[in-house]
């Protein structure tokens, strides 16, 4: 990765921090795109202690604010002539319904709309042989998971946190597969791929309900190891999607087992591959964010 520039969203903790650490250890300049500059700088200092001389600029970006995303994209344009890898890693899950500063449901705004806007705003910076990787979740394929275009904000449905999260993660896949279709149609060599980490031990698990929170308790760590894996392992699907020379556009990587293991090729749910739904979500996302993609050969 020497000489290459990678941008990792949500790099101030968990899987994002570990992804940034591995990219930096292999020579990349890694932009840590974080909501908190202080947390981002702390992660950067920790990586430099292990990787002396690592280039780790920290970029403030709140994905739940389209103004913040636009400002961050402008700074990327000012600071870099090229981005080789964009890893849309950041994610959230709100237990109680709330709305972003733009008036959108917070989980959907952060997990999907913010990344949709960021990718479109820096599309012209992405190298011809570059990668865009979106980090999804097994929740994208749950039987209860749908994308309701008429009610993306759960204003008219019961607000069940895992249903809300699942919708946003399915939206991540619909976006990345539609992005690849449009890239291919424009005759570009840029690759869009997706990944999911399995169940990795990180602070994010506290959002996933009582069972996940219980398994995160230090006293139950030996039991949790049966179904969870480290952030080092959890970051590998994203890293493979971002760096493996053999990856093709529209591929999806996850662990060998249901929740853990080394990264292998997976097939997402049939709904995630629905081109009609993806196109309609794309159109709605452009309307909601005001970001319209411009593809160049």
Contact by Cβ (8 Å): 140, 273: no
Q: Which residues pair with 183 in a beta bridge?
A: none
Annotated active-site residue in 142, 159, 165, 196: 165
Q: For tokens 């760590």, what's the residue?
A: 221
Instruction: Please say whether the dihedral angle defined by the alpha carbons of residues 78, 85, 184 and 279, taken in this order, is positive or negative.
Output: negative
CA distance linking residue 241 with residue 254, whole number of Å: 10
Catalytic residue list contains 165: yes
| 264 sits in which H/E element | strand 263-266
Pairing of strands 5-9, 29-34: parallel
CA distance linking residue 122 with residue 287, whole number of Å: 18
Catalytic amino acids?
Answer: 165
């Amino acid at each position: 990765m020497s000489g290459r520039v990678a941008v990792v969203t949500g790099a101030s903790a968990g899987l994002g921090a570990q992804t940034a650490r591995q990219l930096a250890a292999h020579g990349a300049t890694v932009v840590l795109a974080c909501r908190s500059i202080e947390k981002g700088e702390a992660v950067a200092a920790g990586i430099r202690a292990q990787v002396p001389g690592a280039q780790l600029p920290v970029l403030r970006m709140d994905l739940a604010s389209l103004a913040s995303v636009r400002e961050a994209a402008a700074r990327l344009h000012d600071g870099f002539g090229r981005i080789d890898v964009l890893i849309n890693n950041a994610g959230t899950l709100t237990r109680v319904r709330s709305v972003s500063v733009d008036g959108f449901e917070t989980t959907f705004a952060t997990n999907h709309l913010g990344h949709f806007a960021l990718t479109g705003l820096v599309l012209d910076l992405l190298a011809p042989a570059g990668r865009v990787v979106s980090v999804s979740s097994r929740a994208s394929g749950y039987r209860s998971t749908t994308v309701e275009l008429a009610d993306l904000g759960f204003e008219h449905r019961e607000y069940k946190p895992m249903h809300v999260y699942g919708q946003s993660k399915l939206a991540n896949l619909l976006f990345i597969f539609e992005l690849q279709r449009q890239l291919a149609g424009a005759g570009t060599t840029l690759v869009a791929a997706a990944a999911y980490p399995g169940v990795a031990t990180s602070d994010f698990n506290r959002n996933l309900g009582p069972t996940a929170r219980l398994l995160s308790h230090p006293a139950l760590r030996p039991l949790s190891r049966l179904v969870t894996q480290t952030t080092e392992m959890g970051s590998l699907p994203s890293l493979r999607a971002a760096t493996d020379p053999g990856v093709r556009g529209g591929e999806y990587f996850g662990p060998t087992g249901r929740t853990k293991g080394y990264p292998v090729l997976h097939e997402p749910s049939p709904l995630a591959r629905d081109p009609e739904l993806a196109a309609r979500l794309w159109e709605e996302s452009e309307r909601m964010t005001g970001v319209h993609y411009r593809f160049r050969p």
